[in-house]
Chain A
Amino acid sequence: MNPEKILLAHGSGGKITHRLIREVFLEAFRNELLEKLTDSAVFHVDQGKLAYTTDAYVVDPIFFPGGDIGRLAVCGTVNDLAMSGAKPLYLSAGFIIEEGFGLAELKIILRSMREAADEAGVKIICGDTKVVPKGSADKIFITTSGLGLIPAGIEISPQQIMVGDNVIISGTIGEHGIAILSQREGLKFSSNISSDVAPLNHLVASMLDVAGNGIHVLRDPTRGGVTTTLNEFVQGAAFGIKIYEDKIPIIDGVQGACELLGLDPLYVANEGKLVAVVSRDFVQAVLSSIQRNSLGVNARVIGEVVEEPKGIVSLVTRIGGTRIVGMLTGEQLPRIC
């Protein structure tokens, strides 16, 4: 008997659950640690600092141009580890599945996760599956946690930011948010924009190779976009950040969609980009190393860390005016990641 849909029984812990785990999850994620199917995955790590992170993924729709919830669940957590300078090692994956969800769709999502994990060079070594009654969850929710090792001597955090540092964005902005919105009912616009969802850890490794602690902070501008990330850096700080509108890389389609919807691209989510605040001495080297990577060909220096005004992110507009760009106020676009 081969059901096409996930049933409540699949979450019961019995024979059907075990078959699902072996034939579907293990099949997709197979590696020596996971194969043991013990309660915990047990492994050695080298001495040093560990980075540990977790994220839940409830993106709607679950399949979108450029990716799906599975790819997002792996890349999002890998990227969070990479932003502390860590080499991502292992991921866990917890699934909450709505009764009636298609088995074929589940397999596509798991395959996406495997592909993303292989791209990043990480393994999914433990997991959990629960099935809830119809209506208690919207199709599928995924939570991933990740563990990574920070290379000796690397110290990346907002505390390292100094006046005079430059701000780099690794590529064009706003594509993930627009790709998601283009699928939402009621907005009714057609576009060829794909989500930029991608694992950034190799890019970060090459940046650290050329600059080490010349890189002061890294962050991926997901919900709330670039501006929210920059505002997080300046809150309560003894410096501000100034960015230049004419330096911000953005493709026509995102610009057009933002005009149409009345959105500011600086607040739109990205899932395959990073913001780096870098010591001026290392800017050129870091920029070149990013641009050599296929995920960073459009990287640009977009601004600098300034003494005044403190605690504020300001934008120099194309015509030479200035405006303050604050934290996102009001409703965020729901279920964007």
Chain B
Amino acid sequence: MCLGIPTKIVKINGSIAEVEIGGIRRKVSLDLIEEAQVGNYVILHAGFAIAKFDEEEAEETLRLLEEIGI
């Protein structure tokens, strides 16, 4: 139920966006997030984007993980 996956916005039409993951596309509502742009990643849950995905933070987390992990 808490299934949420990172998807990339490929098109925006008002408050509806088309997002893409692995070549699969879906329409989602942007009603719950601010200022999304084409190219942003968002977390998709039950037809809504519920969070913006911070790519810099993702890279930072991966960097930290490499440090701990090796």
- Contacts from A to B (Cβ < 8 Å): 188-193, 252-257, 259-260, 262
Contacts and interface: CB of A to CB of B under 8 A. Distances in A.
Contacts of B26: 188-190, 260
Contact of A257 (B3, B22, B27, B44): B22
B22 A253 contact: yes
B24 A262 contact: no
Chain B contact surface mostly: strand
Contacts of B14: none
Contacts of B44: 260
Contact of A190 (B3, B5, B22, B24): B24
A189 B24 contact: yes
A256 B22 contact: yes
Contacts of B22: 252-257, 259
Interface of B: 3, 5, 20-27, 44
23 contacts: A188-B27, A189-B24, A189-B26, A190-B24, A190-B25, A191-B24, A192-B23, A193-B23, A252-B23, A253-B22, A253-B23, A253-B24, A254-B22, A255-B22, A256-B21, A256-B24, A259-B5, A260-B5, A260-B21, A260-B24, A260-B26, A260-B44, A262-B3
A259 B5 CA distance: 7
Looking at B21, B22, B44, the one whose CB has the most chain A CB atoms below 10 A away is B22
A253 B23 CA distance: 5
Nearest to A262: B3
A336 B24 CA distance: 20
Contacts of A191: 23-25
Given A190-B26, A259-B5, 16 more contacts: A189-B25, A190-B24, A191-B23, A191-B24, A193-B23, A252-B22, A252-B23, A253-B24, A254-B22, A255-B22, A256-B24, A257-B22, A260-B5, A260-B24, A260-B44, A262-B3
Nearest to B6: A259
A66 to B, nearest CB: 15
Contacts of A254: 22
Q: Pick the most buried of A254, A259, A262: most chain B CB atoms within 10 A of its CB.
A: A259
A188 B20 CA distance: 13
Contacts of B5: 259-260
Contacts of A262: 3
Contacts of B20: 256
Nearest to B3: A262
A330 to B, nearest CB: 15
Contacts of A257: 22, 24
A192 B24 CA distance: 8
Contacts of A260: 5, 21, 24, 26, 44
Nearest to B47: A188
A191 B25 CA distance: 6
Nearest to B23: A253
Contacts of A252: 22-23
A188 to B, nearest CB: 7
